[in-house]
Amino acid sequence: MSKVISDPPEDLSDHPALQPDHADPLSGIDPDMALWVDYDPDTVTKLSAEVIYSYDEGRSIVIAGTVPSWGYMARIAVPAVLRKPGPFHLRAGLVLRRGRLGLGVANDACTKFYDQTIIATPGQHLVELHTECADTPGNVVLRSGSPETAAVEFELLFLQFQLRSSEKRFKLTVMPEPKEAHPVFEKFPRWTGKISGYLTANWIGALIDTRFTSGGSRVTTETTIAPPYPRPGTNGEEYFEWIILLQSVLEAQKSFTMVELGAGYGRWLVNAWHALRSIGKADIPLMLIGVEAEPAHFAWMHEHFRTNGLDPERHRLINAAVAPSDGVVYFTTGHPNETYAQSIVNSPSVRFSKWPDMSVREVPAVSLQTVLDGVGEVDLLDMDIQDAEGNVVHASANLLAERVKTVYIGTHSEESEYLLRITFNRLGWVCRYDYPCHRTSLTPYGLIKFQDGVQCWVNPRFASEETLLRFEQP
């Protein structure tokens, strides 16, 4: 049911995210669990002078050239940890633009193929290769799939190797037609209403001060608006955040508790409140907990609550950074309506050329243990804490297992993403979404470029079988 994608280094024991003061997070991991490693762009080698290639900002690579019959175009080195006889598994997403493409796994010298396939239909394809290598696999070879000299052009969107595999198969499929929308949105009526002054509103009815994001534009006369539902192509990674929030609201029964770490002005907390109201759950006991260290954002969170009919004093709003343990940390502040990427840093001398007025100050830091002190079950923990996520989750893993039903995390580095996967797999949680940061990923809604990554994990201690069976990650 869960597909866990990972980016581990070849020597897991030396991974920086697994160091300083925690117990070995690899303990308790199922040795048969599938972990994935992305190809290294530095290991791409042209095999023909006629071939050209280029990268885009999402790390996909375009390869093109006119090559002889079955001619080699490029090779990608197999990671050293996988260079041994036995089961071998890779998967790749690509777009064939012109010609016929051959893809296969070969030895180091590219003289012996263990398995290969030909892709002849233009368009998007998802290739999965499971095979048994009698000798050492050395390269993935990309070649012309034509018996005569021909032009070939394709875009390699991703290529990943599985660290463990026991099946033998080759599967080539055209990528499925993307879904237009998740059905959960149909259960929440779209808001229509009037705005004025500096306020606008989103589709669920949350009123938003435009000064929080753009410096503010004032509506001089009262205006009726009908904001559209979120769309995958427009809202990108936030589309998945909406899905998880709405499903958590639907599943809430006698009460609803939500925690937002790196809350900014508390937008997702207030969105949850309006979602509850829109389906007749406004009267169930509600606890909203927001943690934000940037002083202007924290003040705006109080204002945002009051604008939307929430009394901040009846909830728990904490002006602090989130860290593995309580204490004091250096934190960047400033440019509040231009960026929400303020974060913990290692030194007070850090400067940012893009944000000249950004400063570093000491701020209180709180652990999840402190944030959840006296709190019972948490329906949803939403986290966007600028690369502190891996260490914070790892430090509070047992607490999360005891109290939290669902965790949604915006991720910011491969190291944090890897540590999150290790931690939640050790706990036995179910992966709902896992899309790495700064990559293009195949989703149920088509190919989406992610700036922040997305991970969502569900605690099986609280989830029904029906809930687990709904999960849809391809």
Q: How many helices (H) and strands (E) does the chain have?
A: 9, 29
- Both tokens of 362, joined, read 């000491």
Residues forming beta bridges with residue 36, ordered by sequence position: 162
Angstrom distance (rounded) from CA 440 to CA 155:
12
- Both tokens of 75, joined, read 């090779």
Exposed e or buried b per residue across 61-72, where buried means at least 16 C-beta atoms within 10 angstroms of its C-beta: bebbbebeeebb
Angstrom distance (rounded) from CA 51 to CA 64:
6
Angstrom distance (rounded) from CA 473 to CA 403:
25
Residues of the chain with pLDDT under 50: 1-34, 57-58, 165-173, 472-474
Contacts of 410 (CB under 8 A, 6+ apart): 237, 241, 262, 383, 384, 389, 452, 453, 454
Give me the pLDDT at residue 29, please: 35
Specify whether the CB–CB gap between 363 and 320 falls below 8 A.
yes
Instruction: Tell me the domain boundaries of the chain.
Output: 36-163, 186-469
The bridge status of strand 453-458 relative to strand 406-411 is: antiparallel
Residues forming beta bridges with residue 456, ordered by sequence position: 408, 433
Which H/E stretch holds residue 400? helix 397-403
Angstrom distance (rounded) from CA 213 to CA 337:
5
Contacts of 356 (CB under 8 A, 6+ apart): none
- CATH 3.30.930.10 given to domain 36-163: no
Q: What is the dihedral of CA 93, 96, 100, 105, to 10 degrees?
A: -20
Angstrom distance (rounded) from CA 179 to CA 34:
27
* Fold match flag (36-163 vs 186-469): no
Q: Among 467, 409, 469, which Cα is nearest to 248's?
A: 467
Phi, psi of 247 (to 5 degrees): -70, -35
The bridge status of strand 446-450 relative to strand 439-443 is: antiparallel
Query: E strands within 198-299?
Result: 199-201, 207-209, 219-225, 256-261, 286-291
Maximum Cα interatomic distance, the chain, rounded to a whole number of Å: 75
Contacts of 172 (CB under 8 A, 6+ apart): 117, 119, 125, 126, 127, 128
Residues forming beta bridges with residue 75, ordered by sequence position: 45, 141
205 Ramachandran zone, left/alpha/beta (phi>0; psi -120 to 50): left
CATH class of 186-469: alpha beta
Specify whether the CB–CB gap between 288 and 315 falls below 8 A.
yes
Angstrom distance (rounded) from CA 65 to CA 63:
7
The bridge status of strand 256-261 relative to strand 321-322 is: unpaired
Specify whether the CB–CB gap between 101 and 152 falls below 8 A.
yes
Angstrom distance (rounded) from CA 45 to CA 22:
40
Give me the pLDDT at residue 176, please: 60
Q: Among 172, 141, 162, 9, which Cα is nearest to 88's?
A: 162
Specify whether the CB–CB gap between 458 and 430 falls below 8 A.
yes
Angstrom distance (rounded) from CA 360 to CA 286:
35
Output the pTM of the full model: 0.69
Please spell the DSSP secondary structure of 330-371, one letter per residue: EEEE--TTT-----EES-TT---SS-TT-EEEEEEEE-HHHH
